[in-house]
Amino acid sequence: MYSQRLPWLAIALVLLLGCAAALLTGCDLAAIEATPVPETPMDTPLAPETTPAPTDQVEGTPVAPSVITVTVWTTEAFTPTQTITSGQVLLDQVVTFEAAHPDARLEFVLKKPQGKGGILDFLLTTQAVVPSLLPDLVFLEIGELGSAVQAGVVQPLNELVPSELVADLYPFAQEAGTYGEQLYALQFQANLDHLAYNTGRLTVPPRSWPGVLSSVGPYIFPAGGQAGLINDDFLIQYLAVRSWPAENADEPFLQQDALTAVLQYYRDGVTRGVFPADVVGYHTTDDCWRDYLGDEAILTHVSAHRYLTDEDSRPSTAMAPIPTINGAGAAISRGWALALVASDTTRQSLALDFMTQLMSPEAAGAWNQAAGYLPTRQAALGTWDEEDSYTRFASQLLQTARPRPRIANYTQVAAALQKAVEDVISGAATPEEAATQAIESTQ
C-alpha cells in the first residue's frame, strides 16, 4: 500500500544533499582566493653557479708571466761568484741583466774546460742524444770552435750582433771567430806569450835572431812542448819565416827551407850558450817564469796572464815582443769565446742580449783586468789605465797578434815539429835532416 509520508522524505533528502554540496563548494573557493597570483612574469636570469676564488688570488691582479731560464754552459773561470774579483764582475752583470729582463733568469752550468766530459764533448754528445738539453749560450775555448761549427751546434752571428762591436774586435779575434765568412763566436778573453827580461842585467832586449845569438844568456822558452806537441812559441818563429796562409791553397803547411831555418836558429842558440842545453826541459811558459824569478835566466818567454797576475813578483823586469828572424814576431792568441747555441728566437734574443752585455767595453775591460787576461775589444782595453806601460805594450801586441793557424792535420804536424826540435837540440839530427823527416812524416 502506497504511503502518504514517502514524498516528503524524498524531498527532505534532496534538500540535505544540496546543502552539503553548497558547503563543499564554498570551501574550495576560499582556498583558491587565498593563493596570490603575480601580476607580471619575472625576467631576471638566475645567477650562474660560480667557483669561489682562491684565497691567495686578489681580484683584478694580472697573472705573472712565466720566467724563461737562459742556460749558460761555463767553466769555473767564468762563474758568477763573490769569492774572486772577476766572479764579482760577472755576478754584477747577471744582476744587471736580470733586472733589465724580469721575464728571464740566467742559470750557469759548470763543465770541465776540455777533454772527456769537457764543454765541447758535452755539446757534441748532447746534440746527438738529447738536443733539447743543449744550453742557450756557451763559453768555448777558441781552438775548439771549429769542431762545434762543423757539428752545427753553434749559430752564425753575422746578422745578430751589432756591426760596431764586430768592427771593434782586434783582427785576431775576428779571424778566430770566423769560419767560411760567417762569424760564430765572440772571443771574450785573450792570452799570449811575449818576452820578459831583467832590466838590471840587460839594458836593451834583442829584436831579432842576430840580436839574440849575439846576446848573453840564459834565454829560456818552452822548447819541450806539451803532451808531445809543439808549443805556440815555435809557431811564432816559423810563421815569421813561412808566409801563411799560402797563396796556393793546396800547398802544405810545412816547407823545407823555412823549417830548416828555425831549427838552425834553435841549434845555434844552444851551441853558443844563449839557450841552455836543457831548454827542452821547459814545457810551459810557467816553467820558464819560475826559473826566471829564481834568477836562472836573463830573458824568458812568459804569458800575458802570468805577467799580469805576478806583478808583485817581478822586480827589475820589462817586457818586449818575442824576437824573430827579422824583428818582432806576431804573438799567437789563445782564449775563450762566447758562442750562441739556442735556435729558438725568444731564447736567442735573450742569450744575445747577455752576450753583447758581457762584450761591452766596461764589462769586458773590468772582467779581463780582474782575471789577469787581455780583452779582445779595442774599446775594452781603452778602459784600462792608458798611462800604464803594460797597457801601451798590450795595445801594440794585440794589434799584430794572430790566432793559431788552422791546419787539418794539426796534431800530426805539431808532433812532428816537436820531434824535430828535440832531435836538433840533442844533436841526433841536423836541422836539414830533422826538417826533411818532419815533412815526410806528415805527408
Higher pLDDT, 324 or 51: 324
Identity of residue 71? T
Write down the pLDDT at residue 16: 38
Averaged pLDDT score across all residues of the chain? 88
- Counting residues of the chain whose pLDDT is more than 70, the rounded percentage is 85
How much is the average pLDDT of 18-41? 36
Residue 45 has pLDDT above 90, yes or no: no
Query: What's the CA gap between 258 and 237, in Å, rounded?
Result: 10
Predicted confidence at residue 304, as pLDDT, reads: 98
- pLDDT of 321 reads 97
* Section 265-290 average pLDDT: 97
Query: Average pLDDT for residues 229-249, to the nearest whole number?
Result: 94
CATH of domain 193-331+407-441: 3.40.190.10
**Over residues 247-254, mean pLDDT:** 89
Confidence of residue 248 (pLDDT cuts 50, 70, 90): confident
Domains of the chain by residue range: 68-184+333-400, 193-331+407-441
Q: What is the pLDDT of residues 110-135, one digit of tens each?
A: 999 999 999 999 999 999 999 999 99
| Residue 61, pLDDT score | 53
Check whether 28 has a pLDDT greater than 60.
no
Q: What's the whole-model pTM score?
A: 0.83
The model's confidence at residue 408, banded by pLDDT at 50, 70 and 90, is confident
Q: What is the pLDDT of residue 64?
A: 52
Lowest mean pLDDT segment, chosen from 38-52, 298-312, 394-408: 38-52
The β-bridge relationship of strands 178-179 and 182-183 is antiparallel
Task: Provide mean pLDDT across the span 73-83.
Answer: 96
- The reply to whether 193-331+407-441 shares the fold of 68-184+333-400 is yes
Q: Which CATH number fits domain 68-184+333-400: 3.20.20.80, 3.40.190.10, 3.40.50.300, 3.30.1360.120?
A: 3.40.190.10
Q: Give mean pLDDT, residues 379-389.
A: 97
